[in-house]
Structure 1
Amino acid sequence: MQYTAVKPVIVNGHSLTIEQVVGVARHGVQVGIDADSTLKMQRTRQYVEKLLSEKKVVYGLTTGFGKFSDTYISGEDAKALQVNLIRSHACGIGSPFAEEVVRAILLLRINALALGYSGIRPEVVQLMIDMLNRGVTPVVPEKGSLGASGDLAPLSHLALVIFGEGEAYYQGVRMPGGKAMELAGITPLALEAKEGLALINGTQVMTAVGVLACWDAQRLAEWADCAAALTCEALYGVRDAFDAATHAIRPHRGQRKSAENIKKLTTGSRLMTRQGERRVQDAYSLRCAPQVHGASRDALEYIAEKLEIEINSATDNPLIFADEERVISGGNFHGQPIALAMDHLSISASELANISERRIERLVNPHLNEGLPPFLTKNGGLQSGFMIAQYAAAAVVSENKSLAHPASVDSIPSSGNQEDHVSMGTIGARKARQIVDNAYSVLAIELLSAAQALDFRDPQLLGSGTKKLYDRCRERVAFVDEDRVLSHDFQTIAEWMKQADSLAELAEL
């Protein structure tokens, strides 16, 4: 996945893409709102005011929340109810989300509100847009969401800043939310009836984390093919396994794409071998790379599809259908669709790292590495070379296996058993993001292990694509002639792979 968006993002609730979310979250792309969405929000707000004037009993408008849904709240207390809701629900725990995640959360909440089913005033949504465009980023703790009734706790921390409370980052400094708004030239707004609930009742936290993790994982799948190709050459891999004829008769799209990538990268190689030339067939971690990588690729396409549906959905409760003069209490806030997708993402990214670690072992193990020096060092014994690099990869892969345990199969009842099944989707999304980050580290180790191995062969014998990949690695990290601290080297390559323009380089391979 290559980032190309540069135009301002105009939200309308219907057409936001994952790439646009990445643009706003990471690259500061400016945000505006569609005029039709503003009109829709205005009409819905007018209907809310009508319900208030008629003293209708509507959940969250003239009632309490959760188990208190049967408790009537008078019109005079409706404003106090919103502030009490946000303050009481701001129960987040742990370290704050990265600023890019919170920016994505803000954008997704804006987009959901722009659909016009939440009953919020357009000026509140415009204030949130101003926060994005002027760089006010609420401090939102990572933990505390059950992923049903929406991401209540983390979204409450975001909402605090809208009326001048809580904390926020502004120009890289953490400060009181009201101070950040003042420095950015934004005047906080007092919340009206229904608006507090409209701000926090949704799946935007799990979805924002998931969008960024999925984007990174789709890029990771591209890098996995690159690493496998480089390792195949270092180990005199059998090229027949990547022939299109094999993959055409098992036509999973991801499998065919991975095989095509590896074959293209190794075009012209004088290190790859033919069936029977050195051996009849390779170990699975080489020969089955297209099948394993491809399965993750296909899963990631499915996950991206689910995320794009969710980021263009109304996930409030209740939902207000002003044109029909109806208010419906439902369950669109339940995060199960994203929870399942995030667990699938965790498994898919874990497998890309799992098979990569097996290839690393083949590169460093003198019993498996086709005559390369043990642990890829010239002076084994005195020097350890890449011995502990494989340990580090194995440790991270093992950690991923623990993290990949599904979150969505757990549920703890809450709110006096009114909310008796929850998704744990935000936990699933956070775990998936960590797994993806870990997987980048494993692939960085594989790339540098393969580059080191190829220095003991002859890099000039590489294929047209793998030679360019080798050169890019060597531009950043030198051959390990003597033992040194490798941690920095792996971090350098992992960070390069994550950079927005790195796939532009990859496209040239």
Structure 2
Amino acid sequence: MAEWHLRPGQLSLSELRHLLGGRVRLCIDAAAWPAVEASAAIVARAAAADTPAYGINTGFGKLAKTHIARTDLQQLQLNLVRSHSVGTGVLLDDATVRLILALKAASLARGVSGVRPIVIESLLALYNTGVLPCVPSQGSVGASGDLAPLAHLTLALIGEGEVRVDGVVMPAAEGLARAGLQPLQLAAKEGLALLNGTQVSTALAIRALIEAEDVFAAAVVCGAMSVDAARGSDAPFDARIHAVRGQPGQIDVSEAYRRLLEGSEIRRSHLLNDDRVQDPYSLRCQPQVMGACLDLIRNAARTLLIEANAVTDNPLAFAGADVDEVLSGGNFHAEPVAFAADTLALAIAEIGALSERRIALLIDSALSGLPPFLTQDAGLHSGFMMAHVTAAALASENKSMAHPASVDSLPTSANQEDHVSMATFAARRLLPMCANTRRIVAIELLTAAQGIDFHAPLTTAEALHAVYLNLRERVSFLREDRVLAVDIAAAEQLLASEALTPMVAELLPSWRPE
């Protein structure tokens, strides 16, 4: 297995995408260790002193004024981990847990969290051996860090709680022993450093960002196919229209539509004898809507990459020229992640909403000029009538889930934590939203291909024809009613394989930040 050197503070999105798969052996770049050791020494000196230092020799949250005896400092950290392990709900999947481990290790390796090197090495050992902590998905408000889920992550380090190895859940002590790992003995501040931080909400949001990028790419391609299926015009994609508005995403996406539709025989056939003046918005305004979605995706990517490289625990240990300082702040507040997740939710919902409108257009013979419900014998056969109902149900579900989570705040910890971000839920809902939108786009792919078939022997543009043929290898033309759930699943599987993503990446080299 290849060795992958994490450079704390310099992680890239392409690197994070790669780390989700767990196909590498992680280690920390050697240049990071001196700072880690220096910050650990600062905390050790603070723990040995009588001066109160939050989280090192005091209680936590509302109990910060309670001094803890030196003889109890190890027990303090152990108690913290156990008391904060209050998560509930389904467990986070393996890929997300791997990313959390990598993000937490890289953050602690920035060298201001005051943990010993062994803490970071223990996190990497879990990643490298595939001993993945069982982390419940619910229980964090995204304010004092993702306390509950990170507590469950930390339980595995100390040999408590449960882990999952190759999909099998077992006691953490057993999982560590099988991998030849020893439970970690926490020193002063180390439990708090492990529990504080936004790594869970950030990992969830990054996973969804990657999914959203692929769903966006699929929707652009399928939207272009729908233009041809409905015998729509490519004039609205003219570069001059978008240049005078100046929105960057819109300009980029319009170019993608132009290039995808280039050379279409279907378009050429009705160029001179089409009496329609304008197409419906779901066709004509794709660059405006999808371009705005692309801008949100890009902005979220920038925020989440910064957060992936950030130090978000508390307090932090800074070495000074004359005096070392342990400073208490609030980097654990996940508002940036919450905002990024909320904007991603809007983009994901809108991608699906626009796709649903194109499906509705294609099955409506008055708008599309195609047979009713895209079937040759409407009445005897219902065609894609109910497939559109499924798309509408999914789009409606996404609209409910797109309500901003960040506008909610429920004070906790006896009002010490009196404003919270709700970032963890904001990020956690995104993957189900992506799945909904992918299924909507899969239905659009089926209907667009069906519409294109009705224009035979004329063919769509070369790039889109390749997609059409790819689908037709899996799903045949709908001549009479059959169980369309099978077709939808096949189309969704095609989209989930990311088969359309390279096509859009080639058309828009800068659309997916690295």
| Global fold match (TM > 0.5) | yes
- How far 1:43 sits from its partner (Å)? 1.0
Instruction: Indicate the residue corresponding to 2:314 in structure 1.
Output: 317
Instruction: Indicate the residue corresponding to 1:64 in structure 2.
Output: 59
Instruction: Indicate the residue corresponding to 2:407 in structure 1.
Output: 409
Q: Is the 8 A contact 1:265 1:466 kept in 2?
A: yes
Q: Is the 8 A contact 1:18 1:215 kept in 2?
A: no
- Are 1:345 and 2:344 an aligned pair? yes
For 1:31, which of 10, 26, 32 is the aligned residue?
26
Matches within 5 A, 1:72-471: 72-272=67-267, 273-274=270-271, 277-323=274-320, 324-370=323-369, 372-458=370-456, 460-471=458-469
Query: C-alpha separation between the residues in 2 aligned to 1:121 and 1:275?
Result: 74
Query: C-alpha separation between the residues in 2 aligned to 1:311 and 1:373?
Result: 50
Q: Which amino acid aligns with 2:297?
A: L
Answer with 224-233 or 36-45: which moved more: 36-45
What whole-Å deviation, never above 9, does each CA across 1:88-109 have from its counterpart, x for those lacking one? 1111111111111111111111
Q: Which amino acid aligns with 1:49?
A: A
Q: Which amino acid aligns with 1:66?
A: G
Q: Is the 8 A contact 2:222 2:444 kept in 1?
A: yes
Structure 1 segments unaligned to the other structure (5+ residues): 1-5
Query: C-alpha separation between the residues in 2 aligned to 1:66 and 1:293?
Result: 44
Q: Is the 8 A contact 2:163 2:172 kept in 1?
A: yes
Q: Is the 8 A contact 1:242 1:262 kept in 2?
A: yes
Q: Is the 8 A contact 2:471 2:494 kept in 1?
A: no
Q: Is the 8 A contact 2:237 2:257 kept in 1?
A: yes
User: Are the structure 2 counterparts of residues 228 and 190 from structure 1 closer, same or farther at C-alpha, using a change threshold of 3 Å?
Assistant: same
For 1:504, which of 475, 480, 502 is the aligned residue?
502
Q: Which amino acid aligns with 1:108?
A: L
SS in structure 2 at match of 1:231: helix
Query: C-alpha separation between the residues in 2 aligned to 1:268 and 1:110?
Result: 51
Query: C-alpha separation between the residues in 1 aligned to 2:415 and 2:480?
Result: 62
SS in structure 2 at match of 1:70: coil
Query: C-alpha separation between the residues in 2 aligned to 1:477 and 1:100?
Result: 30
Q: Which amino acid aligns with 2:290?
A: H
What whole-Å deviation, never above 9, does each CA across 1:342-383 have from its counterpart, x for those lacking one? 11110011111111000000111222221x221112332232
- How far 1:502 sits from its partner (Å)? 5.0
Q: Is the 8 A contact 2:214 2:498 kept in 1?
A: no
Structure 2 segments unaligned to the other structure (5+ residues): 508-514
User: Are the structure 2 counterparts of residues 407 and 42 from structure 1 closer, same or farther at C-alpha, using a change threshold of 3 Å?
Assistant: same
Aligned length: 503
User: Are the structure 2 counterparts of residues 52 and 459 from structure 1 closer, same or farther at C-alpha, using a change threshold of 3 Å?
Assistant: farther
Answer with 453-462 or 128-137: which moved more: 453-462
Instruction: Indicate the residue corresponding to 2:510 in structure 1.
Output: none
What whole-Å deviation, never above 9, does each CA across 1:372-428 have from its counterpart, x for those lacking one? 221112332232221111101101110111101111001011101111000001111
Q: Is the 8 A contact 2:218 2:500 kept in 1?
A: no
Query: C-alpha separation between the residues in 2 aligned to 1:359 and 1:230?
Result: 10
Instruction: Indicate the residue corresponding to 1:482 in structure 2.
Output: 480
Q: Is the 8 A contact 1:459 1:467 kept in 2?
A: no
Query: C-alpha separation between the residues in 2 aligned to 1:459 and 1:143?
Result: 54
- How far 1:453 sits from its partner (Å)? 1.6
Q: Which amino acid aligns with 1:440?
A: R
Query: C-alpha separation between the residues in 2 aligned to 1:460 and 1:32?
Result: 56
Instruction: Indicate the residue corresponding to 1:3 in structure 2.
Output: none
Q: Which amino acid aligns with 2:44?
A: E
What whole-Å deviation, never above 9, does each CA across 1:278-308 have from its counterpart, x for those lacking one? 3111000000001000000011111100011
User: Are the structure 2 counterparts of residues 228 and 70 from structure 1 closer, same or farther at C-alpha, using a change threshold of 3 Å?
Assistant: same
Q: Which amino acid aligns with 2:418?
A: D
